[in-house]
Amino acid sequence: MAFVDCWYVMITINDVLIIVGSCLKIQLEQSIIDGEQYDLCSTLLGTGNLLVWAGVLRYLGFFKKYNILILTMRKALPNILRFLSCALLLYCGFCFCGWVVLGPHHIKFRSFSTDL
């Protein structure tokens, strides 16, 4: 991995995702392809946008004041991920309980996907 910089790989991937998503969006707007491709288009554009903003963090590390913010986020990331995993388990338990208890009695809780 000494020859490949992961930042450049990520920039290349997000550029490809945004270009392909933009081409799909143009084709959807001109009705060249059917409307079923909206999900793929939004996924490509959203993922590309997420990677662009993750790439902005690299450039914030070059400034002294923002570098403190990046170091703080890097130090706090394990604790944040632990908290989010616990919160996700509680949320899933709450959704499952609502689905089991309220499912037979209310139309909005008939399936687990609508319960989320």
Domain identity same for 92 and 111: yes
Q: Which two tokens stand for residue 85?
A: 């995993």
Report the sign of the C-alpha dihedral through residues 106, 110, 112, 116, in that order.
negative
Are 37 and 24 within 8 A, CB to CB? yes
Q: What is the pLDDT of residue 1?
A: 60
Residues in the chain predicted with pLDDT less than 70, given as ranges, are 1, 112, 115-116
Domain extent for 1: 1-60
Domain identity same for 7 and 47: yes
Q: What are the Cα distances from residue 40, in Å, to 4, 16, 37, 65, 105?
A: 29, 14, 5, 39, 35
Q: What single-letter DSSP state applies at residue 110?
A: S
Q: What is the pLDDT of residue 25?
A: 92
Domain identity same for 56 and 70: no
Q: What single-letter DSSP state applies at residue 106?
A: -
Q: What is the pLDDT of residue 33?
A: 83
Q: What is the pLDDT of residue 115?
A: 63
Q: What is the pLDDT of residue 116?
A: 64
Entry pTM:
0.62
Domain identity same for 91 and 109: yes
